[in-house]
Structures are given as C-alpha cells and as structure tokens.
Amino acid sequence: MKKDLKTLLPLILEALEKDGRVRIYPRGKSMLPMLREGVDSVVLVKPDGIKLYDVVLFREPDGCSLHRVVKISGDDLYTCGDNQSVSVKVAKDDVLAVVDCWYRGDRKIPIDDPEYKKYIKKIMFIRPFRRIKRKLVG
C-alpha cells in the first residue's frame, strides 16, 4: 500500500534533520508535466532562502503539498502546481523543504540545468492561459 505525504511527513522531516536531504516520489497530478507519479522523484533539502520559481514542500491544514513559488510578497509566498491555474498563499514559516534536484526516471536534473530553466519559462508563460482554457472548457 502506498503511503501519502501526510503519513510520511514525520519521516521526511526526521531525514531532513538527520541527513539534510531526502528523496521522495511525489503523488498526484498537480506538478505535471514536470513530475509524473510513480516515475519521477525529487530531492528535498532544508530551506535556506526561497526564490521565485523554487518548488517547495509546504504545510497545509490537511497535510502538505509540493508546488512552485509563483510570487513572493513580504513573508508570504504564492504557490501553484505546474498543472494548476490558481495560486495558494503560503506563509514562509510553513515551508518545510525546497527541491534541490529532481529525477526523470534515473536521470538527475539539477535546478540550474539550462533545459529545466527553459521549462520554467515555458510553464510560467502558459500559466495565465490555463485559467482561460479551464473557464472555456468548464
């Protein structure tokens, strides 16, 4: 049986404290096409300053989520999954970890990879159109 992120959160936090990093396999579709459930994984590290377009693990009332920072305003972040159109306000204090790199299958992709940076530009460019498309499609 697969465990959800809420169940694994104490183990993730323990590994971050002990080793400073942990690799997880996220579930769900919110970060498509970057992260495919059951195939891709991310390496999380403790946050040391959060930048625009970082992918962060943050605490929510019903567990936690892994989404991209799309706006920073004071002590608040606005995050959104790459496959979503609505951003969510998150306090910086609720950020538990930041993605250091991710794996497409066995291939490691660092966050400073030029192809990944192109992907971010593309995904941020089409983000406003996603909301329009969803309204039209219903």
| Per-residue pLDDT tens digits for 59-77 | 988 888 999 999 999 999 9
Beta carbons within 8 Å of 78's beta carbon, 6+ residues apart: 69, 70, 71, 72, 87, 88, 89, 90
Average pLDDT over residues 23-33: 93
| Annotation: CATH topology of 5-137 | Umud Fragment, subunit A (2.10.109)
Instruction: Write down the mean pLDDT value for the chain.
Output: 91
**pTM listed for this prediction:** 0.90
Q: Do 131 and 86 form a contact (C-beta atoms < 8 A)? A: yes
